[in-house]
Amino acid sequence: MDKFKKFTGARSGKIIEGLSEVKEYLQNYGYISESATNFTNSFDEMLVSATKLYQQYYNIEQTGRLDEKTIGQMMVPRCGKRDIGNDTSFMQHSANHGNLQSIAHYEIFEGRPRWKKRALTFSFLPQNKLPDNYKKTIARGFSKWQAVTPLSFRETGSYSKADIKIGFYSREHGCGHAFDGVLGELAHAYAPPFGWFHFDNDENWVVHQGDQLGHNSKDPTMLTAIDLESVAMHEIGHLLGLGHSVDRNAIMFPTLTYGVRKIELQKDDVDGIQSLYGANPDSSESSPSSHAQNLFRGTPAVSRWWGPTLLAAKPAMALVDIIFL
């Protein structure tokens, strides 16, 4: 996405070599109609309105120009699933949490697809021979979503019968969305009832155990290192039926800033998933919202997982993951 830097300051009426790629980017994420083709390099009305829509989504002043903030946002690693478009219905509604009036920012796929049964199984592609700490990391992600819903997740050795099939693949792998080597697309997951959960095998996945690195983990200071748990948490939300959230702290926010480990569900994630499935009946909290509030009291949304020196030297990073319906 570093290639977008040169467009900083671009505005209506300009013609700039390569500007069509910004239009393609905005189209990929739902800001330009899918039917539009043959993009030109001219900063036309289409680009102005798409830019404004993008700025609205990311809460940036709607200038319609590719100003510094807008280009900066476009350069942040992100999920490949579109922000707005046909496959999701944007849910921004008022929810009454006690005396506190707050806005939910989560998104549900159109038609509200969700799992009909509550006890779900997941299984790892046997050929991957995944290390145990990879499996534990992904299983930990499931248990966090389980804690706030009536759903339960259990690993099964029977891959073909599992509801959720987890596999690490390189390049073309038969699901219709090829991976692309290091960085770019990192993972994708399908909404219910498909249960396909695919990771890009070419990424340098980093696994943590507590605050320690897992034993066969890659070096987290590598500029291409990707935190497996952060990506898994986000993708599981899609597997269960959640789209993206506009809440920056939410697990379901489409971008993951480089060097940030983001593994705890936030209130908006919980509100979203509970709108589909209800709360966990075993929870001691009767009200979903107070449960969520208690759960997250004092929980930081994100934690840095390597030092500030490296962060200062951050390179241009590509997409974090990609999810399609």
Q: Which residues are annotated as a binding site for Zn(2+)?
A: 79, 173, 188, 198, 234, 238, 244, 252
Q: Does 261 bind Zn ion (CB under 5 A)?
A: no
* Amino acid at the residue 268: D
147 near Zn ion (CB under 5 A):
no
Stretch that binds Zn ion, among 5-13, 81-89, 93-101, 208-216 (CB under 5 A): 81-89
The pattern of x and - marking residues 195 through 234 that bind Zn ion according to CB under 5 A reads ---x------------------------------------
Contacts of 284 (CB under 8 A, 6+ apart): none
# residues contacting Zn ion (CB under 5 A): 5
The CA distance from 1 to 283, in Å, is: 43
CB closer to Zn ion, 147 vs 175? 175
User: Binding residue for Zn ion (CB under 5 A) from 26, 50, 79, 236?
Assistant: 79
User: Is residue 148 near Zn ion by the rule CB under 5 A?
Assistant: no
Minimum CB separation from Zn ion for residue 44, in Å?
A: 29
Return the residue of 76, 175, 223, 301 that touches Zn ion, per CB under 5 A: 175
323 scored as a contact of Zn ion (CB under 5 A): yes
Measured from the CB atom, the residue of 46 and 322 that comes closer to Zn ion is 322
Task: Answer yes or no: are the C-beta atoms of 10 and 19 closer than 8 Å.
Answer: yes
The backbone torsions φ and ψ at residue 84, rounded to the nearest 5 degrees and listed phi first, read -135, 155
Encode 24-58: b = buried (16+ Cβ within 10 Å), e = exposed: ebbbbbbbbeeeeeebebbbbebbbebbbbbbebb
Smallest gap, in angstroms, from Cβ of residue 163 to Zn ion?
A: 16
DSSP H or E stretch at residue 240: helix 228-240
Q: Output the six-digit token pair for 40.
A: 């030109």
Residue 108 sits in the site that holds Zn ion (CB under 5 A): no
Token pair 């002043």 in the structure block, residue: 61
Stated length of the chain: 325
Which residue numbers belong to the known binding site?
A: 79, 163, 173, 180-181, 188, 198, 200, 203, 234, 238, 244, 252
- State which residue, 81 or 208, has the beta carbon closest to Zn ion: 81
Write the CB contacts of 98 (distance below 8 Å, at least 6 apart in sequence): 289, 290
Helices 20-28 and 45-57: angle between axes, nearest 10 degrees: 50
Cα(184)–Cα(203) distance, rounded to whole angstroms?
Answer: 9
CB of 233 to Zn ion, least distance (A): 11
- Compute the least distance from the CB of residue 190 to Zn ion, in Å: 8
Residues tagged active-site? 235
**Binders of Zn ion in range 11-30 (CB under 5 A):** none
Residue with tokens 């996945």: 205
Give the end-to-end CA distance of the chain in Å, rounded to a whole number. Answer: 24
Closer residue to Zn ion, CB minimum distance, 1 or 48: 1
CB of 9 to Zn ion, least distance (A): 30
| Binding region for Zn ion (CB under 5 A) | 79, 81, 175, 198, 323
